[in-house]
A and B are shown apart, each in its own frame.
Chain A
Amino acid sequence: MTAELGQIALILALLVSLAQAWFGLAGATRGRLDWMHAVPGAVLGQVFFTLLAYLALTWALVQNDFSIAYVAENSNTDLPLVYRLTAVWGAHEGSLLLWCMLMSFWTLAATRFSRNLPLPFTSRAIGILGLVSAGFILFTVLTSNPFERLFPMPGEGQDLNPILQDPAMVIHPPMLYLGYLGLSIPFAFAVSSLIGLESNTTWARWTRPWATGAWICLTLGIALGSWWAYYELGWGGWWFWDPVENASFMPWLVATALIHSLAVTEKRGAFRNWTVLLAISAFALAILGAFLVRSGVLVSVHAFATDPTRGVFILMFLAFVVGGALALYAWRAPKMPPGGGFKLSSRETFLLLNNLFLVVAAAAVLLGTLYPLFLDALGLGKISVGPPYFNAVFVPLMLPLLVFLGMGPYARWKQADGGDMLHRLWPFAVAAVVFGVTGTLLLGGNAGVMVLAGVVLGAWAIFSVLAEPVDRIRKRGLRNGLGGIPRSIWGMLVAHAGVGVMVIGIAVVTVFGVEREVRLAPGDSHEIAGYEFRFEGTRDVTGPNWDSIQGQFQVTRNGRDVTQMHPERRIYRARPDPLAQVDLHPRLRRDLYIAMGDYLGDDYWSIRLQYKPMVRWIWLGAIIMSLGGLIAILDRRYRLGSGKRATNGNRED
């Protein structure tokens, strides 16, 4: 019964989201107030029915209802309850259900917090979101039905993919999806404003919190994925430039550009068309990501089981939704007012320089990711484009960006004073260089130019942030000075510092990390980076749905005990392939990392030992960046939910 219930709920959700699209778009076009007022009701209906479908699948998993194919393929009676709950997004069909539900949640949020915006604008935007939702639900129903029955019903399920039975994997997909789907709101707002030609500045102000919100989720989602890959895949890498990673990284780069260009459009009314284009592109890249992951056009370690008919559907969706938006853009963009002017040297220019580098970086990643496909489609052979290419083109684009990142916040709007900036910033620049050079020397002698540049620029990103509060405190005292900084500025400063933290982590771990694959028998030991790893033997461990062989390692440094580590070679009973379960000894300063490889016979094991200095800083930086975004959203200016309905062009900040 649950399967049928879920199925019906999904179809009803499809119908309500179509109603939402119709009432919103047609209502606004024809000026029918009653239709526009029906939109929030339809949104509630969509939330209700997608939630119902989601709960139906969850219930089926909890109940071990193996008559449903999805449950039989992704669960098992021995699977712990928490993973049965999260198996909903453990494979393609179920993850789409989560996707649809999260989409309805965003729509609900957009409806709630836009009550004070002009009704036609909101109705159109929510109507567009309805079309997007309808597309996703239709995709689920037609190509990837999670409620499909299996006959005959198997007695036992095949279990959830072991590498997904992990805490980070529990929250990574929902977070990432929230990020992708959150980008639909700037998209819908942009398209709605193309139809209604709302004033540049108000439109940008309405969009900013949504863009930032989606960006926060995307940042956290990608960071979680990176962290998961780091300890789960057993290679100790945190970024592989894999097509699927790139698929999440491109929307992030463009969303980051969008946040900055929205600032220019809000302040100056300028570059409206560019900002609209970024809003459309960010969402388009999110859909493109879904296409790359779920269609099988590219080889990837992370890809879902793929099916070309799904690819065809997503492609049609892309052509319809994004193609429609871009056609509208081609038609309406020339009619937009140009906005105000500003000098070549100004905050605006710095924000647009940010856009220049981020968008070119995103385009380069897109080019590298799709190039093998281009050549293959043209019959010019098969090539691989991997990390060496992406590092070679991406890093040089980021270095100048980091220089500007430190300067931008101190350039005045409209017309900046270079002398004033220099005066305020030089002590921090000197401090960054001193810190970077001594830090690199302390870490090790033969560091290259790249690591030096990375550490200096990372330090610059962190130190330059201090100039603002230091100035304020000097002028107005500790309390008034810090209290006087608006939250949006705090948010920016914190996020920029987060970038610095991440960059330092990346530079240090890339250059000073040590990795050795060694062959050890009990009693043997091996030393890397001053740490002595002694292999003391193995013992058998049994878990709820797995058995494993656990290695016992004693780690010492200069003769003193550091820790004991227990990496495992784990076999999940329902699946034959053994899996390395890494053990970590994490510290802010460095991680120690052991992965058990194959048994080589004669008591010998292949063991991968790694020393990862400052690797935590990468994810710490991402968390700080997200925190910055959160602080910025809480700025009073964006509280759209309260106060009276804003009218076009009325600036309240």
Chain B
Amino acid sequence: MWRYILPLGILLVLIAFFWRGLQLDPGEVPSPLIDRPAPNFLLQSLHDPEEMVSELDLVGEVTLFNVWGTWCPGCHEEHEELMRLAHEENVRIIGLNYRDDREAAIQWLERLGSPFERSAYDPDGAVAIDWGVYGAPETFVLDHEGIIRHKHVGEITHEDIDQQLLPLIERLREEAEAG
């Protein structure tokens, strides 16, 4: 008897999976770097070629590592939100200026204001590869020990901050204080 019902069963299982699939984004790729220390890097600072930025600059407090470029429309979109995080919520944000022109990037920040404590300058995207970046903007959340705890692909919206990032940052800050 079961063999007559089996086809219907298979269909129902498939439909259940599709139902679930509709709520997922197939294009979003999770990062294998989650829960791992930030990759090593050494880059010139955007503003000052003499000064270097490395993964050590991400340690010490809960930090956002934001990949951006002046050519990237999503970066324009999220700029205001990053400003809010940096200046109202006092979150340290380190930038990775990705595949950009140094002069253009500096002017951009002067014109719009900078949410970054500092930005590393990665014109050929070499460091971005080590971070598994595949588009901009991308934002990593690191805890006080420099461990990557979360990655956000695409622009950060107001809701993303209120519903995901701030609660996470809060939790990581508590962790830092506790241990």
Contact = CB atoms under 8 A, between A and B. Distances in A.
Interface of A: 273, 277, 280-281, 284, 288, 291, 295-299, 308, 311-312, 315, 318-319, 322-323, 326-327, 329-330, 333-334, 370, 372-374, 376-377, 381-382
A263 B25 CA distance: 44
A330 B26 contact: no
A326 B8 contact: yes
A296 B26 contact: yes
Interface string B1-18: 100110110011011011
A190 B105 CA distance: 66
A284 B10 CA distance: 12
Contact of B22 (A288, A312, A330, A372): A312
Given A277-B7, A382-B30, A334 B1 contact: yes
Contacts of A370: 14, 17
A315 B19 contact: yes
B21 A323 contact: no
Interface in B27-52: 27-30
Given A323-B12, A329-B7, A376-B24, A297 B29 contact: no
A297 B18 contact: yes
10 contacts: A308-B22, A311-B18, A318-B11, A322-B11, A329-B7, A370-B17, A373-B26, A377-B17, A382-B28, A382-B29
B111 interface: no
B11 A374 contact: no
A196 to B, nearest CB: 18
A463 to B, nearest CB: 39
A303 to B, nearest CB: 10
A228 B154 CA distance: 33
B27 A299 contact: yes
B26 A299 contact: yes
Nearest to A298: B26
A67 to B, nearest CB: 29
Contacts of B21: 297, 373, 376-377
Contacts of A297: 18, 21-22, 24, 26
Looking at A273, A280, A373, which has the most chain B CB atoms within 10 Å of its CB? A373
Contact of B17 (A280, A323, A373, A382): A373
B101 to A, nearest CB: 16
A333 B15 contact: no
B8 A327 contact: yes
Interface residues of B, number: 22
Contacts of A296: 22, 26
A377 B20 CA distance: 6
A370 B16 CA distance: 13
Nearest to A243: B26
Contacts of B20: 377
Contacts of B19: 315
A322 B15 CA distance: 11
A482 to B, nearest CB: 43
Contacts of A374: 17
A462 B17 CA distance: 43
Nearest to A323: B11
Given A288-B14, A370-B14, 5 more contacts: A297-B21, A312-B22, A319-B15, A329-B7, A382-B30
A653 to B, nearest CB: 31
Closest 7 pairs between A and B when the two form their complex, measured CB to CB: A326-B8, A377-B20, A297-B21, A330-B4, A330-B5, A373-B21, A311-B22
Contact of A323 (B4, B8, B23, B29): B8
B4 A333 contact: yes
A277 B6 CA distance: 11
B34 to A, nearest CB: 11
A335 to B, nearest CB: 10
Given A296-B26, A299-B26, A376-B24, A326 B7 contact: yes
Contacts of B4: 273, 329-330, 333-334
A346 B18 CA distance: 41
A329 B8 CA distance: 9
Contacts of A333: 4
A376 B27 CA distance: 11
Nearest to A372: B26
Nearest to A363: B10
B11 A326 contact: yes
B35 to A, nearest CB: 14
B4 to A, nearest CB: 5
Contacts of A308: 22-23
B8 A330 contact: yes
Nearest to A300: B26
Contacts of B28: 382
A61 B40 CA distance: 57
A330 B6 CA distance: 8
Nearest to B32: A381
Contacts of B1: 334
Contacts of A330: 4-5, 7-8
A322 B1 CA distance: 20
Nearest to B24: A376
A51 B6 CA distance: 40
Nearest to A376: B24
Nearest to A292: B18
Nearest to B8: A326
Given A329-B4, A330-B5, A377-B20, A318 B15 contact: yes
B17 A284 contact: no
A442 B17 CA distance: 50
Contacts of A295: 18, 22
A76 B19 CA distance: 37
A432 B23 CA distance: 52
A298 B18 CA distance: 10
A230 B20 CA distance: 34
B137 to A, nearest CB: 20
A544 B7 CA distance: 53
Contacts of A281: 7
B22 A315 contact: yes
Contacts of A298: 26
Contacts of A334: 1, 4
A221 B12 CA distance: 29
B132 to A, nearest CB: 13
Contact of A381 (B11, B14, B30): B30
Contacts of B11: 284, 318-319, 322-323, 326
